[in-house]
Structure 1
Amino acid sequence: MTDQPKEVQRLVEAIKALEAIEDDAEAARAATAVLDAWPDYHAQLREFRQQRVLALKAQGKTWAQIADEALGGVHPTRAQQIATGKRGTKRPKADEAPTAE
């Protein structure tokens, strides 16, 4: 985890702090509060990332450079999609099967 920015480390630590709550009801309430607020924060993070990608493009970076340097090696096409605000598709992980609820 040391290669992650300190802000990401703090977010992970906050999640671990929720997991450390011993009282099950209190832990569930805290997790619910975070999940209830998450859609707003998620949208804010997506917009923030989009603006930074656009700023990099305005500085003359190529989509390949942006994809590699700023987005962790995604495909350059994905960097362009992020710049336009297009959302990625959610795919189940290889070891997960879709479940019906």
Structure 2
Amino acid sequence: MPSNKATAAAPIATGVLLAGTAAREVAQHGLELWTTLALAGGLSAVAVGLGVLTGLSGFDSDDDLDGHHDRTTVALAGLALTSLAVGAGIALA
């Protein structure tokens, strides 16, 4: 089983790249719908990665009895995925 550091690296790196690109576009062209979604998706991906890194991964619910972390991680992952899909759809349209 991979370590938490290796598992957290992908969403953190992807989130930083996505949020950075969105922030640069906001600075150059102003606030648009797809840049807002990209920024939200990037920040959500970073939050999921940090949750995995710090051990708050909701997908590993052996030590989590109340399910709070599980709902939080699934919500952040869902927000990241939805933002990515809608942003890609708007950018391609």
TM-score, normalising length from structure 1? 0.33
TM-score, normalising length from structure 2? 0.35
Computing the radius of gyration from Cα coordinates, the structure with the larger value is: 1
Larger relative CO (CA 8 A, sep 6+): 1 or 2?
Answer: 2
